[in-house]
Structure 1
Amino acid sequence: MTRFASILLTVLICVVALGQFVQVITRYVLEIPVMGLEESLLFPTLWLYVLGAVNASRENTHIRANVLEIFLTTDRQHQILAAIGEVISLIIGVWLTYWAWDFAKYSHRVWRESPTLYLPTFWVDMALVAGLILMMLFTVGHLLTHLRTIFAKDRLDG
C-alpha cells in the first residue's frame, strides 16, 4: 500500500507539474495558450491534494499545534490527549464526509460539467468523498492504537 501510494502521488505530481510547465511555455513564451489545459489539470490536481492529505493521515504526519503537550508530563497523558484529538477529528471528519457525499450526490444528479471541455466534474467531487472516507478509516486506526496503548498501560499498572 505504501509503495502504491507513493507511486500514485509521484505520477500525479509529475502530471500536474508537466501540465503547468506546458501551460507556461505555450502561453508566455510561444504566446499560443492551450485552451482547456488548466481545466483538464483540475482532475489530477484535486486528486493530488486529497490523496496527499490521505497519505499524511495514513502516516499520522499532519501539522499539529499541540500546546497542551508542554504541560503534560507522562506518556499516558500524551496518549490520552492524542486519543481525544483523534475523537474530535473523527467527529468533524464524519460531518465533512456527510457533506461531501451530499454534494457528490447533487453533482451526480445535475451532472455538472467543466465550462470549456465539458468534462464531468463528478469525478473531481468524488475525490473529496473518497479522501475523507480513507482519512476517517486511518483516524479510527490511530484512535484504536492510542486506546490500546492507554489500556495496556492500565493493565500493566493495575
Structure 2
Amino acid sequence: MDTFSKFLLTALILIVALGQFVQVITRYVLQIPVMGLEETMLYPTLWLYMFGAINASRENTHIRANVLEIWLTTDVQHKVLAIIGEVISLIVGLWLLSWAWDYTRYAWRVWKESPTLYIPTFYSDVALVIGLTLMMVYTAWHLLGHVRDLAKGNAQ
C-alpha cells in the first residue's frame, strides 16, 4: 500500500504541475489561453489534496499543536493524550463524513457538469467522501493501536 500511495501521489503531483506549466506557458507567454484547462485540473487537484490527507492519516503525520505535551512528563500521560486526540478526531471526522455522504448523495442525484467541457463534477465531489472514509479508518486504526499499547504498558 505504501508503494501504491507513493506512485499515486507522485503521478497526481506531476499531472497538476504539468497542467499549471501548460497554463502559464499558453496564457502568459503565448497569449493563447486553453479553454477548460482549469476545469480539467480540478479533478487531479482535489484527488491530490484528499490522497495527501489520507497519506498523512495512514502515516499518522498530520501537523499537530501538542502544547499539552510540554507539561506531561510520563509516557502513559502522552499515550492518554494521544487517545483523547484520536477520539476527538474520530468524532469530528465522522460528523464531517456524514455531511460528505449527504453531499455525495446530492451530487449523484443532481449530476452537475462543468460549465465548459461538461465533465460530470461527481468524479471530483466523491473524493471528499472517499478521503474522509479512509482517514477515519486510519484514525480508528491508530486509536486502537494507542489503546492496545496503553493496555500492554507499552507507552512510547
Q: What TM-score does the superposition give when structure 2 sets the normalisation length?
A: 0.97
Report the counterpart of residue 84 of structure 2 in structure 1.
Answer: 84
Listed as ranges, the matches of 1:33-72 within 5 Å are: 33-72=33-72
Q: Distance in 2 between matches of 1:86 and 1:115?
A: 40
Runs of 4+ that moved beyond 3 A = none
Alignment root-mean-square deviation, CA: 0.8
Match of 1:44, as an amino acid? Answer: P
Listed as ranges, the matches of 1:1-158 within 5 Å are: 1-153=1-153
Question: Shift in Å at residue 78 of structure 1?
Answer: 0.2
Q: Distance in 2 between matches of 1:143 and 1:126?
A: 26
Q: Distance in 2 between matches of 1:101 and 1:119?
A: 21
Q: Distance in 2 between matches of 1:51 and 1:116?
A: 26
Question: Shift in Å at residue 82 of structure 1?
Answer: 0.2
Q: Distance in 1 between matches of 2:128 and 2:15?
A: 19
Question: Shift in Å at residue 133 of structure 1?
Answer: 0.3
Q: Distance in 1 between matches of 2:50 and 2:3?
A: 17
Q: Distance in 1 between matches of 2:111 and 2:31?
A: 34
Q: How many residues align?
A: 154
Q: Distance in 1 between matches of 2:123 and 2:104?
A: 9
CA offset digits 1:67-88 (Å, max 9, x no partner): 1101101001000000000000
The share of aligned pairs that are identical, in percent, is: 69
Gaps of 5+ in 2: none
Question: Shift in Å at residue 62 of structure 1?
Answer: 0.4
